[in-house]
Each structure stands twice: as C-alpha cells, then as structure tokens.
Amino acid sequence: MNQFSFYNPKELDDRLKNLDAHHGGEGSVYNDHQHLAIKIFNAKEVNVARKERKVHKLIRQSTMVGYNEAMVPIEPVTVKGHFVGYTMKYVKDAVDLDRIAEKTFMGERDLKKNLRLMIKVAQAVEKIHNTGMIIGDFHPGQVLVSNDDIYFVDTDSWGWIGQSKELEPDLKCLPFYVDPRSRDFSCRDVVIKHYSKASDYYSLAVIAFNVLTGEHPFGGVYQIDTKMSKEMRARNQLSVLGNHDIKIMKGRTWETWMTDELKKAFLDIFERGKRYNIEVALSNQLMDLQYCKRHKGYYNSAYKNCPVCSFRFQNSRNALDTVHSFADNLFLSNSEIKKLYDYRTYLNKVGEVVRVNERGEEIRKSVKGFGKIETYFLEDERYVVKIRPLNILQKIGKTGNVENACYVHVYKEETEVEKIYVSNKATVRVYGNCLHYVEDKTHTLKKLTILNGDVKIVDVAKKQTDFEYVATSNSKYAIISKHQNGGIEIDIDGTCTVIRGQRPIIMKYDAISNMWIWVSKVSGKYNTIVFRKGRKVSETTDINYDTMNLQGSVFHRGTLCLASDGKMVSVMPYVATMPISKVITETMISIISKESQLELKQISENRSELYVLNADRNVYKFVM
C-alpha cells in the first residue's frame, strides 16, 4: 500500500491540514514547499471516475515518455480504496505566464529571455503532441515558470488523440485563449465542441504574442464597435496586428523588433485561418535581434541603425500620431455649466448641481447648490455630500481658527444621514463610495462609508503632525508629512519612505497596476519615483515636466498622462533605464491646453475613456 492510501477522510485531513493550499474550481492543491504537491478533486464539480481513468493512464505513460516539462501525476491518492486525487512534483518560487505577460507590459522583462521561454513552451507542445496527447484548455495560467524552466500544470485535463470520449481533453476553457473554431457560438454560454492539435497551436500563438508584447492579440479598442469582446474579435479575425482601426494603450511596441516572419506567422493564425506551431519563427526571431546599448532595448537586424534612436524613425513616428477631431467628442458644454466639480458633475446656470451618466445624460439633480456650498456625489448616486462653510453664528460658537472650518452633510436623496464638523474643509475628499477627511485635533485620517444604508466611520491612519494625503476608493492611501528628523515621510498603506531636500508636487495612484507615482523638485530638476506595495520600483531625474500640467495629470495603467498644448503626453516612468525618446509618447489632441485637467476611467479590461476638463468649462470625451 502506498503512503497516500488512507483508511478514512480524517486521516487524509490530518495529512493535509498543515500544508499550504490553493483552492480552485475542480479541487484543491496542497504543497509541502519541498518536493511534493497533492491535488484533491471536488467530487461535486468533476467526474472523479473519469479523472481516475485519465490519471492512471498518464502515470503509466509518463514512466515511458518522461514529461520533464509537465507536472504529471506520480501516484494516486485514495480514501477507503476510492480515488480522490493524485500527487505530483512541487515547483518552488514559480509564477505563471500570465504574470510574465504582466511584467512585459510593465517593461520589467527582457525580450530575449521571453523568447527563450516561449521557444521552450512551443517545443514542449510539440513533444506532448508526439506522445499522442492534446492540451485542450491551454492558457497562460497552465504554464508555470521557475528559474527559466517551464512546467505545464492541470495535466489531468489533457486528452488523447482519437481515443474514447472518456479520454478526450476536458471541454472547459478560458475564452480569451481558445481557438474560435473549437467553440459553438450558437450557444449563449461558452460551449466547447472539440479540441485538437490545431487548437493547441492557436492557443500557443495567443500566449506567445501576449508574453512577448504584453498585449493580447485581440486587446485594445476596436473603434468601429467599441463593445466587441475579445472572443468575437477573434472569431472575426480582427487582431491588433492588422489594419483595423484598433487602439491600444502603449501603441504597437513590437514594430521595432518583430521580424516579418514572426509577424506573418501571427497573422496567419489570427487572421488567415492557418494553424501550425510557431516555434521556428520564434527561434529565428531570437537570432534576428540586435541590442541597442543607448536605449537598452532590442530591434530587428533588418534595420541598419536602431529605429528607436534614429532621427528618421522619430520623425516617422510623430507623423503617425493621431490627430483627433473634437467636434463629436464634446461631452458637457460650457453653455450649461457655471462650475465643474468633476467630469460627471457640474453646477448649472441656475444653481443646481447636476450628475450625468457616461453618455452625458442627466441622472440626478440637487437643487441645494447655491452660494459657497460644494456638492459631490458618491458613485451610488442616491448619496450626496455637501460641504458648507460656517456661518457667522456658528463661527462665534467655535474656538480657535475657524476660517476654513465647515460642516460636511451626507444625504440620501433629500434625507440627511450624517453631519460632521471638520476644522479644515481642504482635507475633505470624496472617492467612489467613500468620504475621507482629517480630524484636526487628533491628526487622524478618517473614512466614512455607507453599507446597506448604515453609515460607518473608521480611522485609517494617525500622525503626530499635520499632513497631506491621497486616498482611493479601494481603501489605499498615501500620507505625506514632515519627518521628525527632517525631510518628507511618504506613508503608503503603512509602509514609510523618507526622502530629503525635495519639494513635493504630486502623488497619484493607479488601481490597475497598483502603483503610486511621486513627482517633486530637487536641485532644479524633477524627481520621479514609482512605488509598488509601498516600495520604490524606479526613480529618475531625467524627465522634465516644465511644459506640462502636473496638477491636472492622471496616473493610469502605470502611465502618467499629462496635458500640454495641443497634445496628451504619456510618460512610462517605471522604464527608468530607457532614454526619454522611449519613455515618453505623445497623442495629438488639439483641444487640450496646458491648463486642462485629465481624467481616465477604465471601462473594461482593455478600454479606457479620457475626459478633458478645460478652463472654458467644456468637457470632452475620447475612447482610448
């Protein structure tokens, strides 16, 4: 009897209870952080008898073939003689290809390293096919990477070519990576008809493009139909490589290094209906790369000189900048507006505060907007926040300096649900469904939220002295204060960094990349620091913001977007090792001026909307 045959469920539970666990749809994987992982199936979610037959066949086959690149079953796990799961090799410090693609997008991965990785994956796919097997549900989460070695996981979902239905690949999928030929699009739900070698080759190409470029081949925004999903774009062969009027956030970054051979291979598979293993094109691409020491990046050897650094390429790139006509992009007209609060809230000419939807249509009006009262809406538009300065009688009744004091009223419709006294109205902020403010006497940052109609106020952070802060709707915060030993202390979610000799200008947060950006002045230069999880990931003094509006900027998808005359300037400061010509890109939008305030909102995974708030009180909207 093997060591994983248990007499009863309690005996198995005792074996697993001290192990780390990862719970998924089909079951749970436990590991001992040494050499072994144990997968236990959830009998309510999978056909355990079918899994047992596939696992036993895999065990027999792996003893003859030797799957070094796959975490195949080693031995079954049984309770009272009944199959419940299996053991497999444990891989230490592993990340999946999804995480690798994310690092590529953030500029944190070397292209050659990624190419070598994908060549290994492509070769492994061919080896798996040569043993008579099909992967089927093939997506980035199915391949782990550790010390540049690859390991396929979930091998119990694989199947055998030409075998009975019991031994076919599991008909499940991650829709963004599945071959559209494998799907039944007549069904409302995602239904897989079959898998094959051809569908594996398709998924391999999608994964490879994603890992090498940081972009999904059917990502971005299709301008003709901005709501078309990745799956429908794939079905209609509308990839980012073709000429289909598709906008992507960072532009076609692969143009400088991708060979014609590899581009043709991707287009063959994404847009011409062909299916084959792109391993040869990947290998040739690896040999065709040239490295530029100046901008510390790669380019195609077909270029005589590095196109990123050459003047000719710079001119041609600028010539390709998109010039937006703005007549059709007017979102709110200054003919209606007396004062702008944000891109969706304004005070009209008769003193009413108006809230609009994403199409600019009025959805809520507050008639109490006169005088010096400031009015803000929570994302739940039923709730309104009004900031009222103290009147003369109220000032007499208070002690100390009350010049900037106010009462903050929270209303549900017309009913007041909370009233708070704040000694400095400049500390009041509304983010999403949260109200933040500073309690002056205790130097405490507080947060008010409303859940099921109940108001809840909690302490976020406390300091010894006055401070500035930035808070977010997802409960992240950054506090900027003077450090007791001199300099400035930046507290990000409780992790503190002290910097000296700098005059702060902005601190902004990006929820998509979970990063913060700090810009300050030091010795006549701008210092740009990017933080992730409270720790520096890059710092540079090479970026000059003199012609741009830092106060009106927005940090979005790890990119600082700023207003300059006639254009939006996008700065990717986490790529600190690259020259400015690579770090900064420009989008020509003639209605933007240096005084414009920008707002960028994520609408879907690959779609964002840019709002331009101008000094003339016109608001414009662009799909990015």
DSSP notation for 465-521: S--EEEE-TTS-EEEEEE-TTSSEEEEETTEEEEE-S-EEEEEEEETTTTEEEEEEE
Give pLDDT, residue 245. 80
Rg (CA), the chain: 29
Instruction: List, in order of start, the domains of the chain with CATH numbers.
Output: 5-89 (3.30.200), 95-287 (1.10.510.10), 288-320 (no CATH)
Distance CA 249, CA 557 (A): 8
The type of residue at 63 is T
Total length of the chain:
624
The three-state secondary structure class of 434 is: strand
Residue 255 tokens read as 């143009």
Average pLDDT per 10 consecutive residues for the chain, totaling 624 residues: 83 88 86 84 91 93 82 93 92 91 88 95 94 94 93 93 87 91 88 94 97 93 84 92 83 87 95 95 91 80 71 39 59 88 88 87 76 85 91 85 91 90 92 89 90 88 88 85 86 90 88 88 88 86 87 90 89 62 75 92 78 92 82
Taking only the tens place, the pLDDT of each residue in 478-494 is 999 888 778 889 999 88
Q: Torsion angle, CA of 387/392/397/399, rounded to 10 degrees?
A: 80
CA distance to 53, 71, 128, 276, 322, per residue, from 62 (Å): 14, 10, 11, 25, 54
Of 280, 240, 246, residue with least CA distance to 262 = 280
Give pLDDT, residue 321. 41
Whether the CA torsion 117, 119, 123, 129 is positive or negative: it is positive
The type of residue at 65 is V
Taking only the tens place, the pLDDT of each residue in 265-292 is 999 999 999 999 999 999 999 998 888 8
Give pLDDT, residue 316. 38
**CB neighbourhood size of 309 (10 A):** 17
Give pLDDT, residue 581. 54
Whether the CA torsion 322, 328, 332, 335 is positive or negative: it is positive
H helix intervals, 514-560:
none
Give pLDDT, residue 317. 40
| CA contacts within 13 A on the Cβ side of 501 | 6
